[in-house]
Amino acid sequence: MTHRAMSDDAQTEAGITPTLLRFSIGLEDAEDLVADLAHAFAHLANQ
């Protein structure tokens, strides 16, 4: 279940806020993940 299927009250009770940033990652090299995140955040900062 994703948070989208939950009511606003259920999300609040679970600690899910509009500013929550959730990462779901698999088995990847840590350096690759850090590089990917750095690239994504740099892109967001330039918008």
Mean pLDDT for back-to-back runs of 10 residues, the chain (47 residues): 83 90 82 93 90
Which pTM was predicted?
A: 0.52
The pLDDT score that the predictor gives to residue 1 is: 58
Q: What pLDDT sits at residue 21?
A: 82
Shortest CA distance to 23 belongs to which of 6, 42, 40?
Answer: 40
Q: What share of the chain is helix, strand, coil (3-state, %, to 5)?
A: 55, 0, 45
Residue 18 has which token pair? 């509009």
CA–CA dist 7, 16 (Å, integer)? 11
**Is residue 40 within 8 Å of residue 32, measured between CB atoms?**
no
The residue extents of the domains of the chain are 3-45
Dihedral (Cα; 21, 26, 32, 35), 10-degree rounding: -10
